[in-house]
C-alpha cells in the first residue's frame, strides 16, 4: 500500500473515527492502492482522499469513478453515501454507471445520430433505440491515468484519458482531465477539462448514486432544485425539444420529499429521469443547483455547478439484482443521481445550450458537492 501523500500527512490507521477526532489528528492525505486488473490485464488503482475533518472519498482509475464517499452524520459518525461495489470484478461484470465519469456525451443521443458541420455521424445504440452515456465502451469503462495534484484547498487527484479520433463513433481526438479535490470545507469538487483536434460534441458528468442515509429508499430525502424549467422527454428518454415550466409534479423549487409526487410520473419504469434547466444569473458561473437533506442522519448535500442543467434520476431501474458494497441489495429507488450537465441530446436541438467543442477551444466544468449536517 504505497502512500503518495503530496504535501499531506498520512491519515492514520484508525478506521472510521469520528470526524471531530480526525480533525485534530491530520491535515488530509492521499493514499494509492492497487484495485485489481481489467480483463485485458490493465492495472487499476484506487486513490483515497481524506480531508482535515476526516471526510473520505475514494476514486478508482477505471472510469475515473467515485466508489466511496464517507461523510459525517449529525452525531459525527462517518457513513458511505454512494452506491457501488467492493471490488473491480463486480464493476467489470457490468453496473448502472455507479459513480463514473460519463461521456464523451452523457445521457442520450436520439437514434445515435447527429449531423455536425454537414457530416452525419452514427453512434452505438446501446439503449435501444438510442445512444446512452458514450456508447458500449464509453469513458466510464476506460482505465484513466492518475496523478496526485497539489491544491491548497485539500487533497486532490487528477485523472486523464485521451479518447482517440473515431472512438465509439465520435469525431476528434478528445483529451480529458478530471480533477477530484476533497476540500477542507467538506466539498468534493470535480473539475473537468477537455480539448479536441476536430469539432465534436462533449458533455461530461459524474454519475454518483447518492443515499444520504446509507441505505433504504430515497423517497424521504427532501430535494430542492433551483430550476423553473425542465426538458420533457418522449417514452425513450429523448427530449421533445420543448423547455417547459415545472408543474406541481416536476417542481422542486420548494424543498419537497422525492416520494411526494413520484408516482404521478408513470411509464416504464416511471419516476424522475429528467433534465432540469438551472436558474442562473450568468451562464457558465458556479451557482447552487440542488440541495438534498435526509432527516434521520441529518446529512445535507448541496451541489453547485457551472453547467446549465442537472439530470435528476431516482434509481428507477434499480430492482434488487445489483448487490453492492457489503452485500447490500440495491432495490428500486434506493438512490438518486444529480448529474450536472448540458441538456441531453443537445447536439440534435440547436435551441439548447451548445455542446460542440472545436479545435483550440477548452471545455471546462466545475461541480461542487458540499456536505454538512443540520
Ligand atoms: C441516467 C439516465 C437514466 C439511466 C441511468 C443509468 O441517469 O438518464 O435513464 O440510464 O443513467 O441507469
What are the boundaries of each domain within the chain?
222-373
Q: What is the pLDDT of residues 102-121, one digit of tens each?
A: 999 999 999 999 999 999 99
Query: Could you identify the residue written with the cell 413520484?
Result: 262
- The pLDDT of residue 44 is 98
Residues of the chain with pLDDT under 50: 1-17, 19-25
Peptide bond preceding 262: is omega within 30 degrees of 0, i.e. cis?
no
- The pLDDT of residue 18 is 52
Question: Which of the listed residues 132, 265, 311, 321 should we mutate to test ligand 1's pocket, taking the one with most ligand atoms within 8 A of CB?
Answer: 132
- The pLDDT of residue 3 is 38
Give the three-class secondary structure for 370.
strand
User: Is the separation of the CB atoms in 68 and 84 below 8 Å?
Assistant: yes
Verify whether ligand 1 is closer than 6 Å to residue 106 (CB atom).
no
- The pLDDT of residue 27 is 75
Concatenated DSSP letters of 97-152: -TT-EE-SB-SEEGGGEEEETTEEEE---SBTTBEETTSTT-GGGSBPEEEEE--T
HEC secondary structure over 5-61: CCCCCCCCCCCCCCHHHHHHHCCCEEEEEEEEECCCCCEEEEEEEECCCCCEEEEEC
User: Is the separation of the CB atoms in 315 and 306 below 8 Å?
Assistant: no
- The pLDDT of residue 361 is 98
- The pLDDT of residue 5 is 41
Peptide bond preceding 336: is omega within 30 degrees of 0, i.e. cis?
no
Question: Within a 10 A sphere around the Cβ of 48, how many other Cβ atoms?
Answer: 22
- The pLDDT of residue 267 is 84
192: CA distance to ligand 1 center in Å? 21
Sheet of 244-245, strand order: 244-245, 229-231, 273-277, 309-313, 337-341
Question: Which of the listed residues 63, 96, 97, 125 should we mutate to test ligand 1's pocket, taking the one with most ligand atoms within 8 A of CB?
Answer: 97
On average, the pLDDT of the chain sits at: 93
Alpha carbons 221 and 300: distance in angstroms, whole number: 10
Task: Kindly state the DSSP code that residue 285 receives in the 8-state scheme.
Answer: S
Verify whether ligand 1 is closer than 6 Å to residue 123 (CB atom).
no
- The pLDDT of residue 245 is 98
- The pLDDT of residue 8 is 41
The set of residues, in sequence order, having a beta carbon less than 8 Å from that of 147 and lying 6+ positions away, is 157, 158, 160
Question: Which of the listed residues 100, 273, 321, 333 should we mutate to test ligand 1's pocket, taking the one with most ligand atoms within 8 A of CB?
Answer: 273
313: CA distance to ligand 1 center in Å? 7
Verify whether ligand 1 is closer than 6 Å to residue 155 (CB atom).
no
| Helix and strand totals (H; E) in the chain | 2, 29
Verify whether ligand 1 is closer than 6 Å to residue 314 (CB atom).
no
Alpha carbons 36 and 354: distance in angstroms, whole number: 39
| CA angle (304, 308, 314) in 5-degree steps | 70
Whose Cα sits closest to atom 2 in ligand 1? 107
Residues designated as active site:
207, 339
Query: Could you identify the residue written with the cell 411526494?
Result: 260
User: Is the separation of the CB atoms in 103 and 200 below 8 Å?
Assistant: no
222-373 CATH pick, 3.40.630.40, 2.70.98.10, 3.90.1300.10, 3.40.50.300: 2.70.98.10
Verify whether ligand 1 is closer than 6 Å to residue 45 (CB atom).
no
Whose Cα sits closest to atom 7 in ligand 1? 313
Q: What is the pLDDT of residues 5-63, one digit of tens each?
A: 444 433 333 444 454 444 444 579 999 999 999 999 999 999 999 999 999 999 999 99
Which residues is 188 bridged to in the sheet?
A: 182, 369
- The pLDDT of residue 90 is 97
pTM of the model: 0.93
Going by their DSSP bridges, the two strands 329-330 and 299-305 should be labelled as: unpaired
- The pLDDT of residue 151 is 85
312: CA distance to ligand 1 center in Å? 9
Verify whether ligand 1 is closer than 6 Å to residue 75 (CB atom).
no
Verify whether ligand 1 is closer than 6 Å to residue 236 (CB atom).
no
Amino acid at each position: 500500500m504505497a502512500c503518495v501523500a503530496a504535501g499531506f500527512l498520512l491519515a492514520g490507521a484508525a478506521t472510521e473515527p469520528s470526524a471531530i477526532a480526525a480533525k485534530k489528528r491530520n491535515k488530509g492525505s492521499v493514499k494509492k492502492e492497487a484495485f485489481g486488473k481489467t480483463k485485458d490485464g490493465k492495472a487499476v488503482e484506487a486513490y483515497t482522499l481524506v480531508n482535515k475533518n476526516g471526510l473520505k472519498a475514494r476514486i478508482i482509475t477505471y472510469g475515473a469513478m467515485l466508489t466511496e464517499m464517507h461523510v459525517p452524520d449529525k452525531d459525527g459518525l462517518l457513513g458511505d453515501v454512494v452506491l457501488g461495489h467492493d471490488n473491480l470484478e463486480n464493476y467489470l461484470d457490468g453496473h448502472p454507471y455507479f459513480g463514473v465519469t460519463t461521456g464523451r456525451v452523457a445521457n442520450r443521443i436520439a437514434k445515435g445520430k447527429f449531423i455536425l458541420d454537414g457530416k452525419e455521424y452514427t453512434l452505438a445504440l446501446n439503449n435501444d433505440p438510442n445512444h446512452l452515456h458514450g456508447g458500449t465502451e464509453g469513458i466510464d469503462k476506460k482505465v484513466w491515468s492518475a496523478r496526485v495534484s497539489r491544491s491548497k484547498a485539500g487533497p486532490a487527484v487528477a485523472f486523464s484519458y485521451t479518447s482517440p479520433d473515431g472512438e465509439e463513433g465520435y469525431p476528434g481526438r478528445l483529451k480529458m482531465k478530471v480533477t477530484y479535490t476533497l476540500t477542507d470545507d467538506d466539498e468534493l469538487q470535480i473539475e473537468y477539462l477537455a480539448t479536441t483536434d476536430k469539432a465534436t460534441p462533449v458533455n461530461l458528468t459524474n454519475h454518483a448514486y447518492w443515499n444520504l442515509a446509507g441505505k433504504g429508499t430515497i423517497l424521504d430525502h427532501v430535494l430542492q432544485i433551483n430550476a423553473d424549467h425542465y426538458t420533457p422527454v418522449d417514452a425513450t428518454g429523448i427530449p421533445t425539444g420543448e423547455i417547459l415550466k415545472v408543474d406541481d409534479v416536476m417542481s422542486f423549487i420548494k424543498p419537497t420529499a422525492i416520494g411526494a409526487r413520484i408516482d404521478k410520473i408513470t411509464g416504464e419504469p416511471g419516476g424522475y429521469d429528467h433534465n432540469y434547466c438551472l436558474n442562473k444569473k450568468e451562464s457558465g458561473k458556479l451557482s447552487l443547483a440542488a440541495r438534498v437533506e435526509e432527516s434521520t442522519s441529518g446529512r445535507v448535500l448541496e451541489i453547485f455547478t457551472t453547467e446549465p442543467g442537472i439530470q435528476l434520476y431516482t434509481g428507477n431501474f434499480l430492482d434488487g439484482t445489483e448487490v453492492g458494497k457489503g452485500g447490500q441489495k440495491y432495490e428500486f429507488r434506493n438512490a438518486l443521481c444529480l448529474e450536472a450537465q448540458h441538456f441531453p441530446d443537445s447536439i440534435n436541438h440547436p435551441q439548447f445550450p451548445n455542446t460542440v467543442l472545436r479545435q483550440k477551444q477548452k471545455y471546462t466544468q466545475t461541480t461542487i458537492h458540499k456536505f454538512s449536517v443540520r
